[in-house]
Amino acid sequence: MTKNPLISIKNLTVRFGDNLVLDDISFDVYEGEIFVILGESGCGKTTLLRHMLGLLPPENGEVLIDGVNIVKADEKTRGKILKNVGVLFQSGALLKSLTLGENIALPLRETTKLPKSLIDDVIRLKLGMVNLDKREHLMPSEMSGGMQKRGGLARAIALDPKMLFFDEPSAGLDPITSVELDDLIIGLNKNLNTTMIVVTHELQSIFKIAHRTIMLDRDSHKIVAEGKPLEMRDNSDNPRVRAFFRRENLEENQVLK
């Protein structure tokens, strides 16, 4: 794995009014790794993801993607960088008025000059990669939650992005479907060498898919741990980190929710 980071977050501070969310945090994401952002509810995981995508401006700090600071980049430069990024939102975010195939075709039609025949080939290819062969005719309302997530993933990889961002990919899924999605994420990462940034608090998924993680703390608003999840669980000297990975309540010794 290269030592040159694909994404660098430097001294990022995020505040909404008087509410401090992230306080001077820094970390790197390297090419080809599955990087997981974790922590308790309300710690700022999704907020951090949105800032990494350039959707929100920080109070201070830099978000470098391929060496370009997208915080200060002009719209054209930011757009060019973000063409290398795919996003899978919690719901899958498929447009309800379009078929699955039409959803996947949308970014191809908007950003390329491919003829319809080639777009149709890409649709079939991407659906095959997420185990949805011959489902392009389905409307989102005809699909299960797991199928919608996989359909959203097919759309996210339509343009062969270098980076994929996932916001709570297992949210709302049953355990078996969650495992299937984890396997799909691992397979795409291995076969395409796509760098993946995943926001989640699901321990089973974290232990299975993550190459490396950071843990955000909602009280200090900082990163309180960084590394491989098993090492963080077994070796961390921070009681809050150990409690998270062991699903223990620090005060009542109950399962964390």
The pLDDT, as a whole number, for residue 91 is 67
Q: Residue range 95-100: average pLDDT?
A: 94
**Residue 171 has what pLDDT?**
82
Measured CA to CA, the distance from residue 231 to residue 163 in angstroms comes to 25
What's the whole-number mean pLDDT along residues 200-206? 90
φ/ψ of residue 186, rounded to 5: -65, -45
First to last CA, the chain: 35
Kindly tell me if the per-residue pLDDT of 1 is higher than 50.
no
Q: What is the pLDDT of residues 58-78, one digit of tens each?
A: 999 999 999 999 999 998 998
**Single pTM value for the model:** 0.90
In the prediction, which pLDDT does 257 show?
40
pLDDT (0 to 100) of residue 156: 93
CA 27 – CA 226 distance, rounded (Å): 9
> How do residues 175-188 score in pLDDT, each as one tens digit?
888 999 999 999 99
CA distance 93 to 84: 19
Q: What share of the chain is helix, strand, coil (3-state, %, to 5)?
A: 40, 25, 40
For residue 37, give the H/E element and its range. Answer: strand 34-39
- How much of the chain, in percent, has pLDDT values that exceed 70? 95
179 forms beta bridges with: none
Contact assessment for residue 31 and residue 1, using Cβ atoms and an 8 Å cutoff? yes
Locate tokens 């800032």: which residue?
Answer: 51
For residues 26 and 9, the answer to whether their CB atoms sit within 8 Å is yes
- Is the separation of the CB atoms in 218 and 48 below 8 Å? no
Q: How much is the pLDDT for 250? A: 56
